[in-house]
Every structure is written in structure tokens, then in C-alpha cells.
């Protein structure tokens, strides 16, 4: 697996000796690994990766925080900003001990939605089919269907 990760330019971003999990007995371990590839590192989309050992009252895993920048996420936030900003502020309050589980779930779903929308807008869809041409578009598919339908009409006439 390490050869595969290295071959795809993935790099482990965890800091040494910083645990990502702590059980009720105080035993710590690093089981949550953070990988980024060269493209992410070079574009600066993901930065300030930090394992916050102070956050985690609802789990035995510590919070992994990071900063991400993507125009698609920025646009979504600008469109729905006020509502979402309020949710994030409520969840990530200063003492972080008063966050309810339902509010945390709501914030996670919101962030997941942003990430999915950003991926949909920015990552090209790839189909693993040998015949598929990268230049083929939905418009060409529609035009080709219309051409086939026209041929069928002509055959019947």
C-alpha cells in the first residue's frame, strides 16, 4: 500500500507524536491518517492541517481541522452564507463544550454538502469505458440521439 501511495504522490501530513485518538483510560494512538497528493499541495487548496486535541468531547477521536479554498465552495457560501455561518458559529462556539450532537451533525452535513458540490463543479467526471472519448459532451449525446431518431423516421417512411 505504501508503494501505491508513494507512486500516486500521496504524502502523510500527520505531525509526529500527535495522537488522533484517546480512550477513556488516557491511552493515545494515531489511527486517523491525513494524506494529500502533490496536486493538493501545489495548488494550496488544503492548508493549516491541525489535530486539535482539545476538541473531541463527543468522540474518542480528536478533531482534525484544516483550511480549504475552492471557488465552488466560496460561491456556495456566498449564496447561502448567513444561514450556514450561523450554524457554524453555534457549533464551533468558543468553549466547544456546549455543542449538541444534533448541531454537530447538522454542521457536518452542511460541510459535506459544500465539499460534494465543490467536487461536482470542479472535478471532471471520468467514465471507465474504453470507447468513451474525453471530448464527448451531453450536447453531442443529445444531437446523436436526434440523428438516430431522424434515421428511424426516414426508414419507416
User: 15 in a domain, yes or no?
Assistant: yes
Q: 59 in a domain, yes or no? A: yes
Number of folded domains that form the chain: 2
Tens-digit pLDDT profile for residues 127-138: 666 666 777 788
Least confident of 22-26, 59-63, 74-78, 151-155: 74-78
Q: Are residues 111 and 61 in the same domain?
A: no
User: Are 65 and 87 in a shared domain?
Assistant: no
Element (DSSP H or E) covering residue 77:
helix 71-91
Give a yes or no: residue 92 inside a domain: yes
**8 within domain boundaries:** yes
Within-domain flag for 151: no
On whether residue 140 sits in a domain, the answer given is: no
Q: Give the pLDDT band (50/70/90) at residue 143.
A: very high
The answer to whether residues 8 and 59 belong to one domain is yes
Highest averaged pLDDT of the listed ranges 31-35, 65-69, 92-96, 114-118? 31-35
14-60: per-residue pLDDT in tens? 888 888 888 878 888 888 888 887 777 777 777 778 888 776 566 77
Determine, yes or no, domain membership for 83.
yes
Q: Is the pLDDT of residue 147 over 80?
A: yes
Whether residue 133 lies inside any domain: the answer is: no
Q: Which residues lie below 8 Å from residue 149, measured CB to CB, with a gap of 6+?
A: none
Strands (E), the chain: 10-12, 21-22, 28-29, 35-37, 46-52, 63-68
Indicate the average pLDDT of the chain.
75
Say yes or no to pLDDT of 152 above 80: yes
**Are residues 1 and 64 both part of a single domain?**
yes
Q: Is the pLDDT of residue 97 over 70?
A: no
Domain assignment of residue 23, given as a range: 1-69
* Over residues 69-82, mean pLDDT: 65
What DSSP string describes 43-67? HT-EEEEEEETT--TTSSBPEEEEE
pLDDT (mean) for 80-106: 65
Amino acid at each position: 500500500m505504501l508503494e501505491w501511495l508513494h507512486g500516486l504522490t500521496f504524502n502523510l501530513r500527520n505531525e509526529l507524536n500527535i495522537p488522533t485518538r484517546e480512550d477513556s483510560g488516557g491511552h493515545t494512538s494515531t489511527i486517523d491518517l491525513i494524506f494529500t497528493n502533490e496536486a493538493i499541495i501545489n495548488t494550496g487548496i488544503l492548508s493549516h492541517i491541525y489535530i486539535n486535541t482539545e476538541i473531541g468531547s463527543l468522540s474518542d477521536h480528536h478533531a482534525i481541522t484544516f483550511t480549504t479554498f475552492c471557488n465552488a465552495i466560496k460561491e456556495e457560501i456566498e449564496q447561502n452564507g448567513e444561514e450556514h455561518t450561523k450554524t457554524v458559529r453555534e457549533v464551533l462556539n468558543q468553549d466547544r463544550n456546549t455543542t449538541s450532537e444534533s448541531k454537530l451533525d447538522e454542521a457536518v452535513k452542511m460541510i459535506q454538502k459544500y465539499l460534494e458540490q465543490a467536487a461536482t463543479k470542479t472535478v471532471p467526471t471520468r467514465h471507465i469505458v474504453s470507447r468513451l472519448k474525453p471530448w464527448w459532451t451531453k450536447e453531442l449525446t443529445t444531437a446523436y440521439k436526434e440523428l438516430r431518431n431522424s434515421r428511424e423516421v426516414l426508414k419507416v417512411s
